[in-house]
Amino acid sequence: MSQNPLSDALSPDVASVTKILANQQCRELLRGLDRPMTASELTAVCDIPRSSVYEKLDMLAENGLLRRHERGSEVKYSIDFQEVVVAERNGTLEISIRRSPQSAADQLADLWGNVRAEASSD
C-alpha cells in the first residue's frame, strides 16, 4: 500500500511521459527552465514558436513534470521533479517521478488546479 495515495493519483503513465521526453521541444523547454518562467519568456529563451510552447507546457504540466504557478492572469512554470526513472518489473514498464517533498495541501491544490483546468477546457 502506498504511503501517499494522493501522490499515486497524480502519477502519469509510462507511455505519456516517455513520449513527452522523446520530444525535442519538450526537452528544450525543460533545459530552459532555470527558474519559474512564463510561456513568453520560454519562447524567447528556447526559440520555439509560441503556440508550440503553450502546447508543450500543457503536456509537461498535465503529466506531472512541470508545476504551474498562477498569480492573477500571469502563469509561470517550473520543473516539478528531481528524477524520472523507467524500470522493468515482471515484464511491465513502470515509471516513477521523484520530486522534492510536497505538503498534502500543495498536492491537493495541484490536483484541484488540474480539475479546474479540465473543467474549463470542456
State which fold the 5-117 domain adopts.
Arc Repressor Mutant, subunit A (1.10.10)
Query: What pLDDT does 121 receive?
Result: 66
Q: Domain residues of the chain, as ranges?
A: 5-117
User: CA-to-CA distance for 59 and 53, rounded, in angstroms?
Assistant: 10
Query: What pLDDT does 2 receive?
Result: 41
pLDDT mean over 88-105: 82
Contacts 24+ apart (CB under 8 A), 59-67: 59/20, 59/26, 60/20, 60/26, 60/29, 60/30, 62/12, 62/114, 63/12, 63/16, 63/17, 63/20, 64/10, 64/11, 64/12, 64/17, 64/97, 65/12, 65/17, 65/20, 65/30, 65/97, 66/33, 67/110
Residues 21-51: tens digit of each pLDDT: 999 999 999 999 999 999 999 999 999 999 9
Q: For residue 1, is pLDDT > 70?
A: no
Q: For residue 14, is pLDDT > 90?
A: no
As a whole number, the mean pLDDT across the chain is 85
Amino acid at 25: Q
